[in-house]
Amino acid sequence: MTARLFIRRKTSFPLFEVNLLEATDEQLLEISREMGLGLNVQEMTAVREYFRSRGRNPTDVELQTIGQTWSEHCFHKTFKGKIKFNGKTIDSLFKTYIRKATAEINPNWCFSVFEDNAGIVKFDEKYGIAIKVETHNHPSAVEPFGGAATGVGGVIRDVLGVWADPVACTDVLGFGPLNYDYEKLPSGVKHPKYVYMGVVAGIGSYGNNMGIPTVNGAIYFDESYVGNVVVYCGCVGLLPLEKFRRNAKPGDIIVLAGGKTGRDGIHGVTFASAELTEKSEEVSRPAVQIANPIEEEKLKRGIIKIRDLELASAITDLGGGGLSSAVGETAKRFNCGAVVELEKVPLKYPGLAPWEIYISESQERMLLSVPPENLKRVLEIFEGEDVEATVIGRYTDDKILRIYYQGEKVAELEISFLFKPPKTLKIAKYKPAEFEEPSFPEPSDLTETLLKLMASPNIASKESVIRTYDHEVKGNTVLKPLQGENAGPNDAAIIKPLEDSWKGIAVSCGMNPSYGKIDSYWMAASAIDEAIRNNVAVGGRRIALLDNFTWGNPEKPERLGSLVRACEACYDFAKTFDTPFISGKDSLYNESPLGPVTPTLLITALGIVPDVRSAVSMDVKAPGDTIYIVGKTFQELGGSEYYKLNGLIGKTVPKVRGDQAKETFKAVTEAIDLGLIKACHDLSEGGLGVAAAEMAFAGGYGMKLDLRRVPRENLSRNDFVLFSESNSRFLVEVSEKAREEFEKLMEGRVYAAIGEVAKVPRLIIRGLKGEIVVDALLSDLLQSWKQTLSKGA
Amino acid sequence: MKREEIKVCILRVGGTNCDAETRRAFQELGVQAEVVHVNDVVKRRSLLEFNALVFPGGFSYGDYVRAGAIWAKWMLAKLGGELKTFVEENRPILGICNGFQVLVETGLLPGFDGISPYPEAALATNLPPGYNCRWVYLRHENNGKCVFTRKIPKGKVLRMPVAHSEGRFMFAKEKEKRLLERLYENDQLVFRYCHRNGDYANGSFPTNPNGSFHDIAGICNPEGTIFGLMPHPERAFYWWQQPDWTRQQWMPQYGDGKLIFESLIDYLIEKF
């Protein structure tokens, strides 16, 4: 007869002891499954060993705490674990590539990176900028509105969690094609259109309600996102550096502030670290939290006041893992133990078991540690904002976590054990994709092709979505996401966060999932290049990067192999461009009945604009001005929107020639500083053709270009010159009187004057034989560009 | 009174979020402006310490029920007496966006016959529905009654951004003709959505961004001392907030939004 696995303790509330000591290996897994712990045999065995040494069985509270702390979501086992790849063993992707790049670049303007909820860089002598980008893919797949809204709420709390006042939000989204055939949808997968509407509404709702402008973002469509929606939410904040407090000590009081705790968001982290299945909806619906942005708005006010008065010694948000993560991580960080009395936690409704209270991920909650002498004032401040704040325990000096419920001790764990999960060893393999470079005849009419490209979902205007986000609130948005009456797409947004300074923050992003299908190394390199060049295009410099990985199941060697390759590129190009990583987040296990997600790396770039008055927008300004292309064009159409339009993928994925790219970026920055550039736009999806069209209709003037003058290599087809997506290129507008100075500055760099801004409202492009290959009315280009997503969400 | 003696109260509750930029606008013009939480007014302050009151933009109490409705009832219940005195003494009250919604829900606007016990108008869900953030043109319609636009010539076209999902000004269908006439008779019409050249939007989207009746963007009470508008003057205050500043060789230092704050200050200096 086998032993009973769960033994109810004789308490007035539900509390179970779990019979680990007598459990077989098989039963260990059964326990993990039954309790939703998400731990494997190796980890469960380590837990059993620990309790064997204690001579007792764990409680459900203890096992759940361990399950949360050791989850992929909280502990990043894949990025911190060991990986066998190409005959070598990588000890932590994070340390080997991401953190290493930052350490080697070691800029003196990094204030605190990879330490807290968000990275912090210096803005000026007094202020710092905090930034974080989160993934919220899994919850958004199950409940699009709530998943996306709480993604925004969570990332805002990350920024509050380093004492910063949020000043801007970003969001980058990936959906399946909106016209996806309903018949092809497997059971349990929601239609992309439904997901799109819900996610967009959720993001807008949270940011708008909080009064934080959503200033930058992107939307991509890809078949692989049908089953795996991609939701990246970012937040930028500002903090006076001298108010940054991080010195909790034994005796400090643990204060839980904000919303009440309920059953929403139970096992969010374990859910986020598993593949989505047909049953995700049914099983994991409770894993998605419920958003209440007004609660967070009030909470923010209280926190900023407490920060300014320096009343607390540490702060962290309650996100994945709820109290279990927040308390445990704070205790670990400050070398303390903690005592928590769970019955003090304010609940939405009665009946929660202690373990549910401890791991619930209910939203809008923050954890502060407060020296006893300041407690009264802290509670008063929260009360003044109508925010509930409760003392739930205190930090101790013995490095042991003790949890009580109504006087009964329900958990006692050593902090050192809790944060030392067994290191995983995963196997990675990489095999280049076996795509062929297609061959097809050059179309005779490229006007038609360009019009079609303008309308392709990844290029088409996202105005209908952007206008549902308030990008003006706070009145500090100097460069807006949409430029001019025709709403041209600016490359980056600029915020002027301080009243008495002209200094600005430029936020941009880069993401190229299509290249990820061919080669994840060059995809990552391209994303870095794109994020940086978008920033450079508006006048940003001194750039810091954030990495956000959305990948498939890392237990599958090929998926992990492509992840390793992407990390290699992150190291290589962060070093090349002197752009340190300061924060990041990974979302793995993005697999659904339809297969894995296309490896998708989002790079967010945070730049400084020394004087926002010199910012450059992307719209052309005056007829007669010269249009230059900066950077070289190669035959790199693999993964391009042009190939995609023809149902192709190819393999000549765009590369990044680091040294040349760096030169190009430097030149553009110099020219902007000298006031020589009137408009600047980066070349990305759709290449030269699309960038030129966007600049023209955004400014309301035509453009005449000549492809013969485009600096290029191995290119003899008009369509390829026009639509190649080679990296590190810009189109810039220079006035007649600045031409000479501009050309002098550009000497020795790859650039060329390729045409001019014209009064006639047409885009006219001459081909390599001097023939006219594109002649399109701006109004037609604009209409194609706007119609695809005009209905909005 | 002197400019530097003027005290402006920018009220806030949970969900108010345009208070900081509104205060900045007033401070830039040399008056004292303070952001005050309503809890503080109830506990230890008084609205009557101030010469002018602003209900700023945001989502007060989450805008549950109807936008502005909860804050409006809260004000009447907790601070109704002070608010009434404030109005009777002709101290000016400004409502921007959510603040406009609050003023309509409290019965302060349009206020045909003083403070109405029920809302006489509504700021309904936009048509087309949904949140919309964009710059619009406004034509100034007031003949001089509204103290918040006294420095703006009639017929002048101003530019400001809107950002809301409930901004469609409307009267009850059966009364709309008569009530519109009363707005005109009392000189209560202040701003209407228009094209760049000043032609009225005539309901066309997005020139009229919310389907507002008669293209109405802002109105005042018959005394001209209470003014509500959906667009955000505090976001059109400085030149660098304008959407087209990167296109211009030269920009005036301030945007059109400043005229509203300036008019208010002008009135206070003259009358008190």
DSSP one-letter string for A68-113: HHTSHHHH-HHHHSEEEETTEEEE-HIIIIIHHHHHHH--TTEEE-
What's the rounded Cα separation, in Å, for the pair A621 and A738?
A: 14
Closest to A615 (Cβ–Cβ): which among B15, B62, B246? B246
Whether pLDDT at A1 is above 60: no
Three-state DSSP class for residue A503:
coil
Residues of A in contact with B161 (CB under 8 A): 472
Q: Which of A661, A614, A636 lies closest to A723, judged by CA? A: A636
Q: What average pLDDT does range A608-635 have in this prediction?
A: 98
Interface contact B39, partner A, CB < 8 A: yes
- Please say whether the beta carbons of A683 and A603 come within 8 A: no
CA distance A793 to chain B (A): 9
In a domain, A756, yes or no: yes
- What total number of domains does chain B contain? 1
Q: Do B133 and A470 touch (CB under 8 A)?
A: yes
Sign of the Cα torsion A324, A326, A327, A328 reads positive
* CATH value at residue A664: 3.90.650.10
The whole-number pLDDT of residue A74 equals: 80
Does residue A54 lie within any of the structural domains? yes
CATH code at position B263: 3.40.50.880
pLDDT at position A285, please? 63
Task: Compute the C-alpha angle A549/A550/A553, nearest 5°.
Answer: 115
DSSP secondary structure letter of residue A565: H
Residue B5 a catalytic site member: no
Residues 6+ apart with CB under 8 A from A631: A660, A661, A664, A683, A711, A726, A727, A728, A729, A730, A750, A751
**Res A269 pLDDT > 80:** no
Closest Cβ–Cβ partner in B61, B131, B240 for A468? B131
How far is the CA of B267 from the CAs of A433, A658, B100, B150, in angstroms? 72, 62, 20, 8
Residues of A with CB under 8 A from a CB of B: 204, 208-211, 292-295, 297-298, 384-386, 466-480, 483-484, 496, 499, 612-613, 615-617, 619, 621, 699, 792-793
Residue in the structure block whose two tokens are 């460069």: A479
Q: What is the mean pLDDT of residues A111-131?
A: 95
Confidence of residue A424 (pLDDT cuts 50, 70, 90): confident
Residues 6 or more apart whose Cβ sits within 8 Å of residue B204: none
A67 found inside a domain: yes
Please give, rounded to a whole number of angstroms, the shortest distance from the CA of A715 to a CA of chain B. Answer: 35
Q: Which of A268, A611, A588, A639 is nearest to A426 (CA)?
A: A588
Average pLDDT over residues B262-269: 98
Share of chain A above pLDDT 70, in %: 97
* Residues of A with Cβ-Cβ distance to B163 under 8 angstroms: 208, 470, 472-473
Distance set, CA A532 to CA A50, A185, A480, A494, A609 (Å) = 48, 37, 18, 14, 13
Average pLDDT value over all residues in chain B: 97
Instruction: Kindly report, residue by residue over A507-556, the tens digit of the pLDDT.
Output: 999 999 999 999 999 999 999 999 999 999 999 999 999 999 999 999 99
**Cα nearest neighbour of B98 on chain A:** A209
Q: What is the DSSP letter of A251?
A: T
Q: Which of A76, A109, A138 is the last residue of a domain?
A: A76
User: Residue type at A146?
Assistant: G
The 3 state secondary structure assigned to A692-713 is HHHHHHHHCCEEEEEHHHCCEC
Position A188 scores a pLDDT of 85
What residue numbers bound the domain in which A45 lies? 6-76
- What does the pLDDT read at residue A3? 65
Residue A32 sits in a domain whose CATH number is 1.10.8.750
Q: At what angle do helices A322-333 and A60-69 cross, to 10 degrees?
A: 70
Whether residue B14 and residue A699 make contact (CB cut-off 8 A), yes or no, is no
Domain that holds residue B84: 3-271
Residues 6+ apart with CB under 8 A from A113: A102, A119, A120, A121, A580, A581, A582, A583
Question: Quick check: A385 and B241 CB within 8 A?
Answer: no
* Nearest Cβ partner for A621 among B59, B235, B247: B247
Q: Which residue of A has its CA nearest to B161?
A: A472
Q: Are A186 and A278 in contact (CB under 8 A)?
A: yes
Nearest CB partner across the interface for B134, out of A467, A477, A612: A467
- DSSP secondary structure, B124-178, as one string: EEPSS-S-EEEEEEEEE---S--GGGTTS-TT-EEEEEEEESEEEEE--GGGHHH
- B19-36 confidence digits (pLDDT tens): 999 999 999 999 999 999
A384 within 8 A of B40, measured Cβ to Cβ: yes
Reported as a single tens digit per residue, the pLDDT across A332-344 is: 999 999 999 999 9
pLDDT at A793 over 50: no
The residue out of A76, A103, A124 marking a domain boundary is A76
* Mean pLDDT value across chain A: 95
Residues of chain B contacting residue A735, judged by C-beta atoms under 8 Å apart: none
Cβ–Cβ of A294/B244 closer than 8 Å? no
pLDDT classification of B112: cutoffs 50, 70, 90: very high
Residue A784 pLDDT grade (very low, low, confident, very high; cuts 50, 70, 90)? very high
pLDDT one-digit tens code per residue, A6-61: 999 999 999 999 999 999 999 999 999 989 898 999 999 999 999 999 999 999 99
**pLDDT given at position B99:** 98
* Sheet strands (E) in A708-750: 730-734
DSSP A225: G
Q: Is B220 a catalytic residue?
A: no
* Residues composing chain A: 793
Which stretch of A378-387, A630-639, A784-793 has the lowest confidence by average pLDDT? Answer: A784-793
Report helix angle A778-787 to A446-455, nearest 10. Answer: 40
pLDDT value at A348 more than 90: yes
Q: Which amino acid is at A710?
A: V
| pLDDT of A2 | 56
Which chain B residues touch A466 with a CB distance below 8 Å?
133
**In this predicted model, what pLDDT tens digit does every residue of A181-204 receive, in sequence order?**
999 999 889 999 999 999 999 999
The CA angle A306-A310-A314, to the nearest 5 degrees, is 80
Cβ distance of A209 and B62 shorter than 8 Å: yes
- Does the ipTM exceed 0.90? yes
Instruction: State yes or no: pLDDT of A270 exceeds 80.
Output: no
In this structure, the strands spanning B7-12 and B32-37 are: parallel
- Active-site entry in B9, B97, B146, B194: B97
| A471 noted as active-site residue | no
Cβ separation of B232 and A474 shorter than 8 Å? no
Q: What is the DSSP letter of B243?
A: T
Which distant-in-sequence residues (6+ apart) come within 8 Å of A184 by Cβ?
none
Across A286-302, average pLDDT: 89
- Residue A747 within any structural domain of the chain: yes
Residue type, A727: N
**pLDDT of the residue at B18:** 97
Task: Kindly report the nearest CA distance between residue B76 and chain A, in angstroms.
Answer: 19
On whether residue A623 sits in a domain, the answer given is: yes
Best to test chain A binding among B22, B78, B133 (most A CBs inside 10 Å): B133
Q: Which one of B247, B248, B251, B254 makes the best mutation probe of the A interface by having the most chain A beta carbons within 10 Å?
A: B247
Q: What tens digit of pLDDT does each residue of B78-89 get?
A: 999 999 999 999
Q: How far is B61 from chain A (nearest CA, A)?
A: 7
Task: Report strand pairing: B52-55 vs B7-12.
Answer: parallel
Cβ pairs A/B, distance under 8 A: 100
pLDDT of residue A557: 96
Q: Which residues from chain B sit within 8 angstroms of residue A672, using beta carbons?
A: none
List pLDDT tens digits, range A73-84.
788 889 999 999
Query: Within a domain: residue A714?
Result: yes
Q: Within an 8 Å CB–CB cutoff, is residue B232 touching chain A? A: yes
Q: Among the options A76, A136, A471, A681, which is catalytic?
A: A136
Q: Tokens 């230092």 belong to which residue? A: B253
d(CA A587, CA A545): 17
CA distance A718 to A773: 8
Which pLDDT score, from 0 to 100, does residue A712 have? 98
Please tell me the total count of domains within chain A. Answer: 2
| Closest by Cβ to A294, choosing from B14, B240, B243 | B14
Classify residue A498: in a domain, yes or no: no
Q: Final residue of a domain: which of A45, A76, A107?
A: A76
Is residue A113 included in any domain, yes or no? no
For residue A468, give the nearest of B14, B20, B130 by CB distance. Answer: B130
